[in-house]
Amino acid sequence: MIKKVTILPIGSTEYHGGHLPLETDWLIAKALSERIKEQLTDSIKVFLLPIIKKAPLSASKLSPGSVYETPQKLIKNILKAAKNCNTDKLFLLSGHWGGTMKSTLTLAALEVYNKYKIDVYIVDIFSAIPLDKMEQRYFGHADELETSMILYLHPEKVKAIYKKHKFIPPQKKTKHIHYLFAKDSEWHISYWGEPALATKKKGEIIVKTMVESLANAIQECTK
């Protein structure tokens, strides 16, 4: 018997350095979800719910075009979407990440489970990034990774100015301190990493590698 699962793609509408579209995160979530569905066609029936396009923001909350969603509202929207889940396993796949988002997704998963009694899984797409295929070696924002992925998925949406964006290091971290929210922090920066390192070929390799890895993980959860 073919097993059935549901994927809920989630993203943000957020400023991405001026060279990537505001919809970068949800475009990535949508593309990965659709490709995972294709990858699993022979063994698992995958249902895709309509994508959620707004999420809590920290780094670019005040940047041009960004649309902020409170954690409470996102949880409410996930509950509303989950109501249409017709399988007993729901996978939350977000193209938007960070401490606030992970906490919100965890709370949402608990709410969904308690209300609908379905198994809920949070898909960590960033753990599937093939860092060995990148020069940057870490995940930033509107950086080599995201720029490469959008160059591959939607090249018409990438502005050529990415080639001139110089390296900006990620926010400094202090031992034992997880996150810093302060007036003198670097959260106002529109990108961090090095977008100029991005190529369409890297994007293709990254997307295909992530899809295969995530599809295998989802399949493992159905056993």
Among candidate residues 56, 52, 54, the one with its CA nearest the CA of residue 100: 56
Among candidate residues 37, 89, 93, 31, the one with its CA nearest the CA of residue 221: 89
Q: For 140-175, what is each residue's pLDDT tens digit?
A: 899 999 999 999 999 999 999 999 998 888 766 677
Binned at pLDDT 50, 70 and 90, residue 214 comes out as very high
**Lowest model confidence (mean pLDDT) among 36-40, 63-67, 86-90, 199-203:** 63-67
Which pLDDT does position 189 carry in this prediction?
63
Q: Which residues contact 94 (CB under 8 A, 6 or more apart)?
A: 9, 10, 11, 25, 29, 55, 101, 105, 122, 123, 125
Among candidate residues 101, 192, 213, the one with its CA nearest the CA of residue 147: 192
Among candidate residues 93, 99, 101, 84, the one with its CA nearest the CA of residue 121: 93
**Lowest model confidence (mean pLDDT) among 1-5, 14-18, 46-50, 182-186:** 182-186
Which domains does the chain show, CATH number per domain? 3-221 (3.40.50.10310)
Q: For 28-55, what is each residue's pLDDT tens digit?
A: 999 999 999 999 988 899 999 999 999 9
| 200 exposure class (CB count in 10 Å sphere: 0-12, 13-18, 19+) | middle
Q: For 77-88, what is each residue's pLDDT tens digit?
A: 999 999 989 899
Which pLDDT does position 179 carry in this prediction?
59
- The tokens describing 206, both together, are 């990254």
Which pLDDT does position 172 carry in this prediction?
66
Cα–Cα distance for residue pair 57/69, rounded to 1 Å: 7
Cα–Cα distance for residue pair 82/47, rounded to 1 Å: 12
What is residue 92's three-state secondary structure?
Answer: strand
| 3 exposure class (CB count in 10 Å sphere: 0-12, 13-18, 19+) | middle
- For the cut 60, the answer to whether the pLDDT of residue 187 exceeds it is no
Q: For 86-142, what is each residue's pLDDT tens digit?
A: 899 999 999 999 888 999 999 999 999 999 999 999 999 999 999 999 998 778 899
Taking a C-beta distance cutoff of 8 angstroms, is the pair 121, 107 a contact?
no
